[in-house]
Amino acid sequence: MHTKIVIVGAGYAGILTAKKLEKKFRKNESVSITVIDKNPFHALLTELHEVAANRVDEDSIRVSLKKVFAGRKVDVRLDTITSFDFDNKRVIGKAQEYEYDYLVLSAGSKPTFFGVPGAEEHSFKLWSYDDAIQIRHHLIDLFRKACRIADRDERRAMLSIFIVGAGFTGVEMAGELAEYLPIICDKFEIDREDVNVSIVDILDRTIPNLPAELSVKVEKRLRKMGVNIILGANVTEIGEDFIETRDAKSGEVTRRVASTVIWGAGIESADITGEAAKVLESANRGRIKIDSNLRSVDNPDVFVIGDNMLYTPEGQERPVPQVVENCEHSAKTAANNIEVLITGKGKLEDYDPKFHGFMVCIGGRYGVARVGFPDRMINLPSFFAMLVKHLVNMLYFAQVLGWNKLWSYSKHEFFTIRHRRSYVGGHFSNRTPSFLLVPLRVWLGATWVFESLKKIGEGWMTEPKLEAFFGGAQAWFESITGSAGAAVGAAADAVTQATANGGGEAAETVGTTIFNWNFFGLVRAMFVSGNELAASSIGDFAFKLDIPLMNSFLNTFVLASSGTQVAMQGFIVIAELVLGLLLIAGLFTTPAAAASLVLQLMFVCTTGLYLGTFWMIFAGVAVLIAGGRSFGLDYYVLPAMQKRWKKIPVVERLYLYND
């Protein structure tokens, strides 16, 4: 018997449920999973404000469903669902109808306007990918027009912006916009004082989900950024150029000039969930009532998760909140219970979510958070609140699109961020043109080629050298650390031979120990000078990590025979030559630079390195990312390889690529 699972909606809850179910039934050909959404992508609704205020590109909040389910037994359908036939187990869309045995309803939400006249017609929504892009384009166009207006009062009227709602959506949008204003004002040469940004709500404080002390911090930050906060004021009407409010205490009605109104005051179930609510028992703006197993109280074959569910866990006073963490928890429970019903194994799981707190960002540089466990919550200062926010996002992205999305997110939030709009400022943002690294890359490669040719001339391909090479270096370090500051008979200076300074006879030397630290017998770090400290140049200083475990491996396997030594020497010589040629040509620069760093680490742990050659480590780091895309073969080779690489089934399925 074939079992059909249909998931309506590819939001946070739907996409996670589909992935978990696919993993459970990957090898079961009698079970099919279909995901239906009106968009071919999954939109990250919690990040919409970043796009709306032009902090990140729009593709940062869009996740391709095709890529998410590549190589997986999930049928993704692009369709708009219009109704349900629960009696005959059918989902009816504009394109076709879909039969199901188990239906997962996760269609998400939409803004609710509470019957405020003009709100839907004259305000911008912030609840979808399209909404964020529309606001961003509107703001740019608004300032473009305003900069041409000579009359200051008229210009100020045009730049009067109101955000309705002091919850998460409204506050984050206000903070993001306030952070963006100095940038866009500078671009269009508009005085920041001519722009009015206000946030208005009937609430008596911002973010009521957070403790009062954090609300105070939020409001203090917003005011510092130039945002007017109007609380205890109920919005009664919105027009083309005004917003009207009524004071909750005095009842006084105030009409203010408002050219732009952004609505973020509340949500209700999506239209299609509203259709289901006409048949299934519901309440609270179209949320479907469910039992403890996440099934509709009217229809046990219909699972309702995420924003669409109305459920109050045992011992709680309020229904589960409409937040991403609820989507994640409910997806796990729904997937488990569907598996139990299909296989008949195990038992149904009651939904008992443990929420770990809330956080809110006021722009890209400041945030507050209340996190922990239900019985132990703590407030986090701004830096750690923002850190947790990014870590939580990355944890979610790892589940959805693996390495590909993790790298993409890091790039958008840190490595390409502009105007310091990140909680770490712009310190990680790449600004140096990559072609400036070409001379460094070529010189690093030439040094490795020189090293390999020199070793060939010294007989590394035919005679065993490593035992004396390693032993001489160790003896030199030990002689200095054993009698710091005294003249000693030095062993052959293998450190010099290993790091391009040429070989030489043993000589009298004066050594100075800078530090000689032993970390629990696992690692010993030695930093010495081969001369008196006052007379030392940078070429006299050397650093070595002595690792007993590595020494044991070398003595047991590498230095055990002359043949093994010559083989290892040959590997080192060939590796240096190949790495050098690749770096000079700018071909496979990233793996070549990474291998260069590995070789340098190997030398640090065997012979040690003079500080004069540490530049090779720093050069390897500098050219590690995209160092060959300018005046190198990677410019031509990598794009062609990436196209083919992404099409390999196992690569698609494990997301082992980046866009």
3-state DSSP assignment of residue 250: coil
Half-sphere exposure of 375 (CA within 13 A, CB side): 0
Same domain, 171 and 274: no
Asked if residue 408 belongs to a domain, the reply is: no
Q: Where are the beta strands (DSSP E) in 182-340?
A: 196-201, 227-231, 233-238, 242-247, 253-257, 260-263, 267-269, 282-283, 287-289, 302-304, 309-310
Residue 332 shares a structural domain with residue 462: no
Residue showing tokens 């081969």: 530
The pLDDT averaged over each successive group of 10 residues in the chain (659 residues) is: 95 97 96 97 95 94 95 96 97 97 96 96 96 98 97 97 97 98 97 97 95 96 98 97 96 97 94 94 93 96 96 90 94 97 96 93 96 92 95 92 90 92 90 86 97 95 91 90 46 44 44 92 94 90 94 91 94 97 96 96 94 94 87 91 89 84
Q: How many domains does the chain have?
A: 3
Write down which residue in 329, 349, 369 finishes a domain. 349
Residues 46 and 161 both lie in one domain: no
Specify the pairing of strand 75-78 against strand 31-37. Answer: parallel
Q: What pLDDT does residue 494 have?
A: 43
pLDDT at 285: 87
206 and 123 assigned to the same domain: yes
CA distance 69 to 49: 27
| Residues 257 and 330 both lie in one domain | no
* Token digits of residue 414: 């840190």
Eight-state DSSP code of residue 306: G
CB of 562 closer than 8 Å to CB of 466:
no
Quick count: other Cβ atoms within 10 Å of Cβ 402? 17
Alpha helices by DSSP H, 166-287: 168-188, 212-224, 271-277
Same structural domain, 307 and 231: no
For residue 490, give the DSSP letter.
Answer: P
Q: Tell me how many degrees the CA angle 185-190-194 measures, rounded to the nearest 5.
A: 100
Q: Are residues 323 and 216 in the same domain?
A: no
Residue 417 counted as domain residue: no
Residue 340 lies in a domain: yes
The answer to whether the beta carbons of residues 303 and 320 sit under 8 Å apart is no
Q: Are strands 81-85 and 90-93 parallel, antiparallel or unpaired?
A: antiparallel
Q: How far apart are CA 366 and CA 554, in angstroms?
A: 51
Q: Which of 326, 349, 372 is the last residue of a domain?
A: 349
**588 CA to centre of own chain:** 25
Residues 602 and 485 in one domain: yes
Q: Tell me how many degrees the CA angle 541-546-552 measures, rounded to the nearest 5.
A: 150
Q: What integer pLDDT is reported at residue 164 of this predicted model?
A: 98
At residue 510, the pLDDT reads 65
Q: Is residue 373 one of the residues assigned to a domain?
A: no
Token duo for residue 340:
């139990």
Residue with tokens 């996190």: 371
User: Contact 371/356 with Cβ under 8 angstroms?
Assistant: yes
Same domain, 503 and 465: yes
464 domain residue, yes or no:
yes
Residue at 361 is within a domain: no
Q: What is the pLDDT of residue 502?
A: 39
DSSP per-residue letters across 177-204 = HHHHHHHHHHHHT--GGG-EEEEEESSS
For tokens 């590819």, the residue is 10
Question: Among 349, 375, 401, where does a domain finish?
Answer: 349
| Of the candidates 572, 554, 553, the residue with the CA atom closest to the CA atom of residue 460 | 572
Q: Collapse the DSSP code of 20 into the 3-class scheme (helix H, G, I; strand E, B; otherwise coil) and give the result.
A: helix
Q: Give the pLDDT confidence score for residue 361 in this predicted structure.
A: 96
CATH of residue 326: 3.50.50.100
CB 371, CB 383: distance < 8 Å:
no
pTM (two decimals): 0.85
Is there a single domain that holds both residue 455 and residue 571?
Answer: yes
The pLDDT score that the predictor gives to residue 492 is: 36
* The pLDDT value given to residue 657: 82
Domain limits for position 481: 437-634
Tell me, yes or no, whether 484 and 581 share the same domain: yes
H and E: helices and strands count for the chain: 20, 32
